[in-house]
Chain A
């Protein structure tokens, strides 16, 4: 596809259930990021993947959050035992090395998660 895609676009789940959010980056982009955007807040960094290197998980808010990236392409963000405070828009972005090192990010449309 031409851009970053995410699925589902909306997800409503009950408190305590597990959810999986999917991101398809732009083909050839080696870097992939997950962010969380809560109402009225900026972007909260969650996790960063770069090629085959170990991911930077420093932004994950708790051990209920995990992510994987298979084959250096598609990524899945999993939230276990969801809580109401997990309600937010989850954004995925990808980028690629450029000659100038600008590493501009290309964002997907996001998944809006609502925990009831």
Chain B
């Protein structure tokens, strides 16, 4: 089946930029999503990008998509301690209503 891969951990200093990377295998991916999960909570949609775009910016968040390499990244500018959470990448092909999720990247922000 299709696969989504993420590194499991990322540690950054408060105020620095964080870059979380994701690779996927589905060449028919239409939408790619980033979700955030705080402890004890469900997933919260942060942003998504359509496959015909290569960049999307929303305040401190920048999503970059390299469709040729099937690589997606999420950049968080000026990372704060409140950004500490697990970040999930997900992709959905045009013919499916069921996204495939990565295992999540645990972002740790330290002072």
Instruction: Write out, one digit per residue, whether chain B residues 9-29 have a CB within 8 A of any chain A CB (1) or not (0).
Output: 000000000000000000000
**A contact residues around B99 at 8 Å (CB):** 105
* Structural contact, B42 and A110, CB atoms closer than 8 A: yes
**Which stretch of B61-69, B70-78, B101-109 is in the interface?**
B101-109
Closest-by-CB residue of B relative to A9 is B40
* Structural contact, B98 and A42, CB atoms closer than 8 A: no
Bound-state Cα–Cα, A100 to B31, Å: 10
* Structural contact, A4 and B42, CB atoms closer than 8 A: yes
Partner of B48, one of A45, A93, A102: A102
Partner of A56, one of B33, B88, B98, B101: B98
Closest-by-CB residue of A relative to B8 is A40
Bound-state Cα–Cα, A106 to B45, Å: 7
State the Cβ distance, B38 to closest chain A Cβ, in Å.
10
Partner of A43, one of B31, B40, B88, B97: B88
A sample of 27 inter-chain contacts (CB < 8 A) reads A31-B97, A40-B103, A42-B4, A42-B102, A42-B104, A43-B43, A45-B100, A48-B97, A50-B97, A56-B98, A91-B43, A93-B42, A93-B43, A101-B31, A102-B31, A103-B31, A103-B92, A103-B97, A104-B33, A104-B45, A104-B48, A105-B45, A105-B99, A106-B45, A109-B40, A109-B41, A110-B41
B residues apposed to A, CB below 8 Å = 4, 30-31, 33, 35, 40-45, 48, 50, 88, 92, 94, 97-104
A residues apposed to B, CB below 8 Å = 4, 31, 33, 35, 40-43, 45, 48, 50, 56, 91, 93, 100-110
